[in-house]
Structure 1
Amino acid sequence: MQPTGKLDLESIIDEGPVTGLQISIFLLCGLVAMVDGFDTQAIAFVAPEIMAAWGAAPSAFGPVFGAGLLGGLLGALAFGAAGDRFGRKVTLSCAVLVFSVASLLTPFAHSTAALSILRFITGIGLGGALPSFISLASEYAPKRLRSTLVGAMFCGFPLGAVLGGAGSALLIPAFGWKSVFIAGGMLPLIILPAFILLVPESVRYLALQNDHAAIARILRRLDAESRWNGESDCRAAMPHSPVSSLFTQGRATATFLLWIAFFLSLLLTYFLINWIPVVARTNGLDIGKAVLAVAMLNLGAVAGCIMLGRLADRFGPTRVIGCAYLAGAMAISAIGLVGWSPGLLYLTSFVAGAFSIGAQMCTVALCAVFYETGLRATGIGWAMGIGRTGAIAGPVMGGVLLGDGVAPSILFAIAGATSVGAALAVLVLGRLIQRRKRNLQPHDGVHEDTLSHSVTRGPLKRASGSEAFPH
């Protein structure tokens, strides 16, 4: 029986107001996401300049692009597991340091082989940062606002790509291509000290470690120590976060569905980023209009993510995300039909970004909510890693289809079909959770319209970081 007026740790975070400390955490994680987005697409901004400077053929840059994506895949897997074992803050700090140093070393490369190695290392850091900053933000977000806040934080990623494109357009003519990598390396090093000083370790992760002294210090900063009953209610710790745990206790089907959604949505995202400019140029538009169409795609993703996140918190994430993917499929299909008109191309790209890529960003928040604290970074890391294989496949698929003479209208209809596939995966996941909800008895403190995201077999238990997971 807890003392009157006292709350457990979960209730303090989930039911309390959003404090200045939490806002600082979301903002700094968002800044890390922004520099991650900048550095991820930096090579695309400067590749034409490097080709001209080195006299290299475009085909020589295939391994350079692939090395960065492969590094991102491996980084997400490795750093995701490390985040669950060693903590979000230290793992994220190390990942940021890796991609900062690798970016700063990139101007010293004088061959495509050296550039490929540096992009591989940069990719490890970039991919490795994702699971930790997503986990950290989600674990400080109140349950009622989690999709909104995590989605808004992750908007830093496409926003970083937009600012990176604009910044590169200014830096390259003035200072050369090397300045883009110097900026990409210096910005995170400027942010990192503020992050280390201001952002605490995840309070939910500390609960798994039974570090009550550290929890008390953080609750003091949240002005909530006096309301804590001294209990963390985080008993389902998995100290070594084995990947096999993603497939135990009824998680297997949901894990596979999340992987399918991430694979298809990232395939779609990188397909659009790479092939919208090609379609625009094929239809006679100049390079400026082609680049602006991609910027509209990213801006749409930012707007859509914020809108969809708010709707997801109100109506349930799987329903909102699934419907958004379906709406996005229609806009994507339309891109192949309107490439001759700049205005229509900008509009359809914005709408496609708002629904399909906005839904993909909200799927990140969905993944963070689904896995309990002891598995969250591992679950996100593996989902993002599987998604990176889709990111590699998307541009390749477009190239193969165009090489076979497929018309743009058919090409983008096929891309729209991948958005439909992602929608089906998310909607089936929602049905799975809804079915399990009907088969389980409600647990005290869990609303009848929600289900613990741990999706355990047997009686419904309050899992570590037991955020309720609406269908």
Structure 2
Amino acid sequence: MAGSGQVIDIDSLVDSQKIGALVVRIVALSLLVQCADGFDLAAMSYAAPELIHSWHLAPSKLGPVFSAGLIGMAVSGPLLGYVGDRFGRRVAILVSTLVYGVFSLLMAVAPDLQVMLLCRFILGIGLGGLLPNTVALNAEFAPRRLRATLIIVMFMGLAVGGILPSVVAITLQAHFGWQVFFVVGGIGPLLLAVVLYFLLPESIKFLVARDGEVSPSATKWAAQLRPDLRIDKHTRFVAAAPRQGTHDFKPNLLFADGLGGITLLVWLLFSAALIVNFFVNSWMPTLFRASGLSIDQTAVTQAAYYVGGIVGGLLISRLIDRWGIVPIMAYFAIGGPVVAAIGTPGLSHMALTGMVFLTGACVLGSQLGMNAVTGMIYPTSIRSKGAGWASAVGRFASTGGPIVGGWLIARRTPLPQLFLAPLAPLAIGAIGAALLLYLCHRRFRELRLGETRAQPAGGDTLPPISRN
């Protein structure tokens, strides 16, 4: 047990921990935060059929409304990623949660499509800040051996949130109409923001990067993280990753120190996963209802997509911790024929639900896996920004998913051909993942991912704990 006046390598402090109450609290709160993102997309999808009927809209008219939220997310990814690296992950998460909650409520009272589009754009700005900052916060509290696992467990909130609108559809929609999805989607985040204010800690690695070796706030959270060590106000912290001023960030840092090819491929894979996710997810309820499924059958089938995402995400989390990019490449490759099978003519409801389950496992699983990757390859000083830029590029690209889907539906494209459209981004994702696997293996000298280059044999390393 270390004593007063010790010097602690913050990376070793985190990596050698036994998972305790503080980390469990952070993962649980972050999971609840991520429910907002999953709930929002699914809620809009469930509201769409009744909204189209009530407002006498062609389905293609809702394509821009779906995409407005994605554009808002894309805009806010780098912006709130900067806020997270400049002012703290906790501040950025709180701001994002409040913005999302307020504008979800405003969508419920929107008088026309134009106002709804504007509200959804600003709502997307709130949602876009959640990904980079929850990724950074969890990555910086998680030991390397479990980093992908804990990040993806946190992102199970996406899938859990995606299931909840099916419950709302079955229990409340008949009584309160399409507006109920946005009322529930607004009240939940506003209540959660109060909980976050009192219970969510700031990242220790961020505090050390900002404050230097002596940080009272870092001392407070480090003592809770490692109750087995005697950490006090005299403790000094050092980090293996270089300290970077948060105010002087430039996007070219994402391409420095050999990260250029990795960053471009991360952006490509984010784009591929999100395009397919939003293409499939935005229009499934509308297509299933049009094909004759009841509200309850549609709700069950749509929920299967997110249940599949949970299963696929849990599986890929352990695989990434051990095998790095390999499982992401496999998920993209398997996802192609699985998504195409949704359009198979004559499928029974049970068979269709099974195909949707497997689609969720592959498509959401690859998206969750890429979220974990961004939390593992960028250093602390630019981690939120790295995740934010990846999310922004992916969200901008993914705006085409709902729009292309609406265009194909307007052209009365047969269902089998409709679900062939995602094959192109999935194939590109598989090839891109193979290239990323090569670059990451060259950088880290193993399949496992890390935030710093592998040290040459015999290179200097910082001791985990030393006395003055």
TM-score scaled by length of structure 2: 0.88
Q: Residues 216 and 325 from structure 1, CA distance in 2 versus in 1: closer, same or farther, beyond 3 angstroms? A: same
Q: CA deviation at 1:453?
A: 3.4
8 Å contact kept, 1:144–1:313: yes
Map of 1:445 onto structure 2 = none
Matched residue type, 1:418: P
RMSD (Å), alpha carbons: 3.0
Q: Name the SS for the 1:231 alignment partner.
A: strand
Map of 2:320 onto structure 1 = 312
Q: CA deviation at 1:219?
A: 1.5
8 Å contact kept, 1:171–1:177: no
Any residues of structure 2 matched to 1:233-382 within 5 Å, and which?
A: 233=239, 234-240=241-247, 241-277=249-285, 280=288, 284-286=292-294, 288-314=296-322, 316-337=323-344, 340-382=347-389
Matched residue type, 2:262: A
Map of 2:390 onto structure 1 = 383
Which consecutive unaligned segments of at least 5 residues does structure 2 have?
none
Q: Which runs of 4+ in 1 moved over 6 A?
A: 2-6, 456-464
Any residues of structure 2 matched to 1:12-51 within 5 Å, and which?
A: 12-51=13-52
Q: Residues 461 and 214 from structure 1, CA distance in 2 versus in 1: closer, same or farther, beyond 3 angstroms? A: farther
Map of 1:230 onto structure 2 = 236
8 Å contact kept, 1:339–1:345: no
Structure-2 separation of matches of 1:141 and 1:399: 41
8 Å contact kept, 1:36–1:126: yes
What is the aligned length? Answer: 454
Q: CA deviation at 1:253?
A: 0.7
Q: CA deviation at 1:409?
A: 3.4
Structure 1 residue 397 corresponds to structure 2 residue 395: no
Matched residue type, 2:238: S
Q: CA deviation at 1:407?
A: 4.5
Identity of aligned residues (%): 32
Structure-2 separation of matches of 1:179 and 1:460: 62
Q: CA deviation at 1:20?
A: 0.3
Matched residue type, 1:422: G
8 Å contact kept, 2:170–2:299: no
Structure-1 separation of matches of 2:22 and 2:236: 21
Matched residue type, 1:394: G
8 Å contact kept, 1:70–1:123: yes
Between 276-285 and 326-335, report the one with greater CA deviation: 276-285
Structure-1 separation of matches of 2:425 and 2:299: 23
Once the two structures are superposed, residues 307-347 of structure 1 have per-residue CA deviations (whole angstroms, 9 ceiling, x without a partner) of 11012213x22012211221222312222225632222111
Between 301-310 and 219-228, report the one with greater CA deviation: 219-228
Structure-2 separation of matches of 1:218 and 1:357: 33
8 Å contact kept, 2:42–2:282: no
Q: CA deviation at 1:41?
A: 3.3
Structure-2 separation of matches of 1:50 and 1:275: 13
Any residues of structure 2 matched to 1:75-86 within 5 Å, and which?
A: 75-86=76-87
Once the two structures are superposed, residues 168-202 of structure 1 have per-residue CA deviations (whole angstroms, 9 ceiling, x without a partner) of 43222223333332221111121112212111111
8 Å contact kept, 1:308–1:358: yes
Matched residue type, 1:364: N
Structure-2 separation of matches of 1:463 and 1:30: 34
Q: CA deviation at 1:436?
A: 3.6
8 Å contact kept, 1:298–1:353: yes
8 Å contact kept, 1:12–1:224: no
Q: Residues 457 and 67 from structure 1, CA distance in 2 versus in 1: closer, same or farther, beyond 3 angstroms? A: farther
Q: Residues 452 and 327 from structure 1, CA distance in 2 versus in 1: closer, same or farther, beyond 3 angstroms? A: same
Structure-2 separation of matches of 1:395 and 1:54: 19
Which consecutive unaligned segments of at least 5 residues does structure 1 have?
439-447, 467-471
Matched residue type, 1:346: T
Once the two structures are superposed, residues 99-148 of structure 1 have per-residue CA deviations (whole angstroms, 9 ceiling, x without a partner) of 11112233332122222211111111011222111211121111111111
8 Å contact kept, 2:27–2:150: yes
Q: Residues 225 and 40 from structure 1, CA distance in 2 versus in 1: closer, same or farther, beyond 3 angstroms? A: farther
Q: Name the SS for the 2:257 alignment partner.
A: coil
Map of 1:96 onto structure 2 = 97
8 Å contact kept, 2:89–2:137: yes
Matched residue type, 2:190: L
Map of 1:112 onto structure 2 = 113
Q: Residues 108 and 406 from structure 1, CA distance in 2 versus in 1: closer, same or farther, beyond 3 angstroms? A: closer
Q: CA deviation at 1:279?
A: 5.5
Structure-2 separation of matches of 1:463 and 1:53: 65
Matched residue type, 1:202: S
Structure-2 separation of matches of 1:58 and 1:360: 27
Map of 1:453 onto structure 2 = 451
Map of 1:443 onto structure 2 = none
Structure-1 separation of matches of 2:331 and 2:60: 36
Structure-2 separation of matches of 1:394 and 1:114: 22
Structure 1 residue 185 corresponds to structure 2 residue 186: yes
Q: Name the SS for the 1:226 alignment partner.
A: coil
Structure-2 separation of matches of 1:461 and 1:339: 62
Q: CA deviation at 1:167?
A: 1.5
Q: CA deviation at 1:281?
A: 5.4
Structure 1 residue 216 corresponds to structure 2 residue 223: no
Structure-2 separation of matches of 1:7 and 1:428: 37
Once the two structures are superposed, residues 50-94 of structure 1 have per-residue CA deviations (whole angstroms, 9 ceiling, x without a partner) of 444445554543433232221121122211121111110001101
TM-score scaled by length of structure 1: 0.87
Structure-2 separation of matches of 1:58 and 1:174: 23
Any residues of structure 2 matched to 1:138-217 within 5 Å, and which?
A: 138-209=139-210, 210=212, 212-217=215-220
8 Å contact kept, 2:93–2:133: yes
Q: CA deviation at 1:383?
A: 0.8
Map of 1:444 onto structure 2 = none
Between 236-245 and 72-81, report the one with greater CA deviation: 236-245
Q: Residues 460 and 408 from structure 1, CA distance in 2 versus in 1: closer, same or farther, beyond 3 angstroms? A: farther
Between 304-313 and 63-72, report the one with greater CA deviation: 63-72
Q: Name the SS for the 1:336 alignment partner.
A: coil
Structure-1 separation of matches of 2:136 and 2:458: 23
